[in-house]
Amino acid sequence: MAMMSETQGSSFRLSMLIYDTRYRSITIQIIFLFLMMAGAAWLIDNTLANLAEKGKDIDFSFLWARAGYDINQRLVDYTNDSPHWVAWVVGLLNTLVLAAVACITATVVGVMAGVLRLSNNWIISKLMAAYVEMFRNIPLLLWILVIYAVLTEITPSPNQFRGDNPSASMFMFDSMAITNRGSYLPSILFSRSLGDVNLGLLTVGVNSLVLIAIIIASVFGYRALQHSAAATQESTGDRPVTWWKSLLILFGPLILAMIAMGAHLELPVLKGFNFSGGLFVRNSFIAMWLALTLYTGAFIAEIVRAGILAISKGQSEAAFALGLRPGRTMSLVILPQALRVIMPPLISQYLNITKNTSLALAVGYMDLRATLGGITLNQTGRELECMMLMMLTYLVISLIISGSMNVYNNSIMLRER
Amino acid sequence: MSDTHSQTVAYVRDSMLPEKSPPSNQVGAIRWLRENLLSGPLNIILTILSILIVYVLVRAIGPWLLHSIWNAGSLSECREILNGESGACFGVIKDRWHQLIFGFYPPEIYWRPVLTFVLMLVAIAPILFAGVPRKMLWFSAIFPALAFWLIWGGTIWFTICVLLGFVVGYVAFVLLRRVSDLFAVIGAVVATVLWWVFLSGPLSSELAQILPLKIQHVKSHELGGFTVSIIIGVTGIVMSLPLGILLCLGRQSDMPLVKWISVGFIEFIRGVPLITLLFTASLLLNYFLPPGTNFDILLRVIIMVTLFSAAYIAEVVRGGFAALPRGQYEAADALGLDYWKAQRLILLPQALKISIPGIVNTFIGLFKDTTLVVFIGILDPIGLSSAIRADSNWNGIVWELYGFIALCFFIFCFSMSRYSQYLEGKLKTDHR
């Protein structure tokens, strides 16, 4: 006992910093902190010395200078007289649009391929296995180049649509043309225009805004209808018939508004050496979109397959024992549980799509890397600032996607008592 | 009993009837077809659709492959032989395969990368397969230095002096172990680094003057093709696993400072595309280093690729740790093991086993991502395919080159994923 109290009462010795577990972690952290700070100071010192040697400084004012280059796909008002920061926004929006459409289509393709790979049908499951292995084991860059080559080498030139006996023809009742320059699709025009609104960078027709507002209102109306139907089912046991009401709520106001505003399709027409009118989608965009869709779709297919296989067989047997039909077993029992397994890796696939849009460099799609990290960087010679801004932008996009998807993931997670 | 029964009830049969063959639609190919292809309306539609897809693919690619030309010196010669028919011109592979594989490596010393590749297979064999003698691990340990010397050439003394650094470190470790384990580790690291920084350079040049054992030096920009992909890929894989494990341990550390720095590093790397890191390596790294330093672009790329995949591996291994039952940690504590022993003997082996599929997926991703180096001017296979197309003989050739590159990548990545499945099966301990 005397020994014990002696050791406890003994004063602090320097060797305890290393041998006593209570103090050792603090020692290690302090040493670590010093090393990190020394490293950081060394890097900053080097950077400053290098900048001074080259006669440069860190200055972001170039963002307000005239950009002086054209961007072939722009979602906001941009000319070559616009400043560099608008070019940055244009590139950012192009990245986001590509990522968003690729995420949606990759999910659709992936879920279909994953479910079909588990099908009893021998030939389709083997076909899907071949698709998944093909795309997972060959680099994305190669797929982008191959698909871009298909689009530019195999599709006809606009020239071939001309003449009395053309060698190429348009699709879908002469409304779509796929050429080696890009695809021409019909677009919607309004004969009764309600004017334009200028939102700073963006000029939007009031007609489109009205349509968007109607769609949002319809979706809310549809959800309210479903809620009231569920409430009726809870109280009475009978589910009221809702399908025609839902269709009416979802599409009725939209169609009425479109008729009222005089909506009509504008078809692409061959004029001279090229098509005009309609919506023009560049091959670079289509190639990136298809490649990202098919490549990530293969990964999502494996995630979906693993998720479905992770649900124990007892679950579907229990559902059958309760008298549920196979379709309802899938939608009410298997999928909600599989979703919990699928969701976290699916989020990281969405992040991968967003990051992989930077490969657009290979086909010349004007994304964030091509505007801010490409032409702006080369024109202004401000590598440090441009790369920092670009990395920061990607980082913020990634954090926003993973943050919002994690919120959704938490909402579907199993709540244990 | 049964005897009396059969006698009293006369109509009970006392011998088996011969088995009848099952109905014709329940056997053989017909039954298989009915069950697997035509079991319902949806299945019939799917079957017809798949057959259509296969037919279209075969129709498009089949004749092209069947009419392939292997003996031609240029695309126009190919087209002459084909005479208007559709056909692949694999003459380009025969003509340029050496470039796709070795880049601009001097042709008279192609044996060096080939020998390195064969030795690499020998070196990784004891790591991959338990049946190979354990003594071969010594060869695996010296292989990196040997490979460096074989690929880049120069004097062998430099390689030997770098290897001697490890010997110096080991000697320091043995000497200091009598004092304390902690001092021994620190002393070994310090001794090795001091040896490399101050002694190995002068010593190797001295030795090279006395006895110049050297082979032809090859510069980094002469490397290319699959050689460069494999160099970046394999080095990245080998270095990113330990670094990733360290990062993961850092992320789970009780020390807040270490933890937050690890978290920041991992999230930063995972939040930006690899291509921006590669551009940083090629454009910005000179800013961060002392003025006048300029080190090899290939080395910079390898460092970036390693850091990139280490962050991903850290997250995969963290998943493995999360799947471990809490009891394993408590059992390790109850045995009185310290942190490193508990990690090394109990926790890491189990966590790594669980995360094998994820780790191998990261490796496959890393190997595929080596194609991105084309954007910073390193001539990997994709970069060389455009270089070959720039030649007037092969201007306009696309599918054959892409097909060849894709096939090579497929073989590498597919064998990696098969190996991971084999390893998973071998290490499986649950008896389900």
Test A149 with B372 for CB contact under 8 angstroms.
no
* B253: closest chain A residue by CA: A25
Of the partner residues B53, B261, B283, the one whose CB lies closest to the CB of residue A127: B53
End-to-end CA distance of chain A: 46
Nearest chain B residue to A392 by CA: give it: B272
Give A67-75 contacts, CB < 8 A, sequence gap 24+. A67/A375, A67/A376, A67/A379, A68/A379, A69/A375, A69/A379, A71/A366, A71/A371, A72/A282, A72/A366, A73/A282, A73/A285, A73/A365, A73/A366, A75/A202
Task: Please tell me which residue, B281 or A269, carries the higher pLDDT value.
Answer: B281
Q: Is A149 within 8 Å of B276 when comparing Cβ atoms?
A: no
Beta bridge partner(s), residue A183: A178, A281
- Domain segments of chain B: what residues? 21-63, 154-215, 221-432
The A residues from 381 to 410 touching B (CB cutoff 8 Å) are 383-384, 387, 390-391, 394-395, 398-399
Closest CB to A29: pick one of B47, B258, B417: B258
Judging contacts by C-beta atoms under 8 Å, the chain A residues touching residue B257 are 29, 32-33
Q: What confidence score (pLDDT) does residue A4 get?
A: 45
Interface contact B46-A146, CB threshold 8 A: no
Partner residue opposite A123 with nearest CB, options B51, B374, B375: B51
Question: Quick one: pLDDT at residue B7?
Answer: 57
User: Token pair for residue B260?
Assistant: 């937050």
Note the pLDDT of residue A142.
93
Of A123, A145, A399, the CB nearest to B271: A399
pLDDT, tens digit (0-9, with 9 covering 90-100), for A4-45: 444 454 567 777 777 777 777 788 888 888 988 999 998 888
- Please give the tally of structural domains in chain A: 1
Nearest CA in chain A to B315: A348
Type of residue numbered B204:
S
* pLDDT reported for residue A164: 67
In a domain, A186, yes or no: no
Q: Give the pLDDT of residue B406.
A: 93
Q: What is the DSSP letter of A239?
A: P
Q: Please compute the mean of the pLDDT values over residues A168-185 and round it to a whole number.
A: 74
- Cβ within 8 Å, pair A120-B43: yes
Looking at domain B221-432, its CATH architecture is Orthogonal Bundle (1.10)
CA distance to A95, A110, A115, A369, B83, per residue, from A129 (Å): 30, 12, 11, 34, 37
Nearest to B371 among A28, A139, A383 (CB): A139
Yes or no: say if B306 and B242 are a contact pair by the CB < 8 Å rule.
Answer: no
Tens digit of each residue's pLDDT, chain B (432 residues): 455 555 566 677 788 888 888 887 777 788 888 777 777 788 888 889 989 999 999 988 888 888 888 887 788 888 888 777 778 888 888 888 888 888 888 888 888 889 999 999 988 888 888 888 888 888 888 888 888 888 888 788 888 888 888 888 888 888 888 877 777 888 888 888 888 888 877 887 788 778 777 788 888 888 888 999 999 999 999 999 999 999 999 988 888 888 899 999 998 999 999 999 998 888 888 788 877 777 788 888 999 999 999 999 999 998 888 888 888 889 998 998 888 889 989 899 989 888 888 899 999 999 999 999 998 888 888 988 888 888 888 887 888 889 999 999 999 999 999 998 888 888 887 655
Does any domain span residue A254? no
Residue A336: what pLDDT?
84
In the predicted model, is pLDDT for residue A296 greater than 50? yes
Residue A134 sits at the chain B interface (C-beta within 8 Å): yes
CATH number at residue A319: 1.10.3720.10
Which residue among B47, B257, B374 places its CB closest to the CB of A121? B47
On whether residue A370 sits in a domain, the answer given is yes
pLDDT at B371: 92
What does pLDDT average to over chain A? 83
Question: Is residue A15 within 8 angstroms of chain B, CB to CB?
Answer: no
Given a cut of 50, whether residue A226 has pLDDT beyond it is yes
Residues composing chain B: 432
Read off the pLDDT of residues A337-356 as tens digits, 9 standing for 90 and up.
Answer: 888 888 888 888 999 999 99
Question: What b/e string do you get for A240-268 counting C-beta neighbours within 10 Å, with b at 16 or more?
Answer: eebeebeeebeeebbeebbeebebeeebb
Between A134 and A61, the more confident residue is A134
Interatomic CA distance for residues B191 and B195, integer angstroms: 6
Per-residue pLDDT, A167: 67
**SS3 sequence, chain B?**
CHHHHHHHCCCCCCCCCCCCCCCHHHCHHHHHHHHHCCCCHHHHHHHHHHHHHHHHHHHHHHHHHHCCECCCCCHHHHHHHHCCCCCCECHHHHHHHHHHHHCCCCHHHCHHHHHHHHHHHHHHHHHHCCCCCHHHHHHHHHHHHHHHHHHHCEEHHHHHHHHHHHHHHHHHHHHHCCCCHHHHHHHHHHHHHHHHHHHHHHHHHHHHHHCCCEECCCCHHHCCHHHHHHHHHHHHHHHHHHHHHHHHHHHCCCCHHHHHHHHHHHHHHHHCCHHHHHHHHHHHHHHHCCCCCCCCHHHHHHHHHHHHHHHHHHHHHHHHHHCCCHHHHHHHHHCCCCHHHHHHHHHHHHHHHHCHHHHHHHHHHHHHHHHHHHHHCCCCHHHHHHHHHCCHHHCCCCHHHHHHHHHHHHHHHHHHHHHHHHHHHHHCCCCC
For residue A304, give its domain range.
Answer: 52-158+282-417
pLDDT at A98 (0 to 100): 92
| Per-residue pLDDT at B431 | 58
CA angle A107, A110, A115 (to 5 degrees): 125
pLDDT at A298 over 90: yes
A358 touches B at CB < 8 Å? yes
**How near does any CA of chain A get to the CA of B283, in Å?**
7
Least confident of A194-208, A237-251, A370-384, B173-187: A194-208
Predicted local confidence at residue A6, as pLDDT: 44
- pTM of the entire structure? 0.86
Contact between B280 and A387 using a beta-carbon 8 Å cutoff: yes
Complex ipTM over 0.90: no
Selected residue with higher pLDDT from B238 and A237: B238
Is A148 a member of any domain?
yes
Q: Which of residues 212-241 of A touch B (CB under 8 A)?
A: none
B-facing residues of A in 239-278 (CB < 8 A) are: none
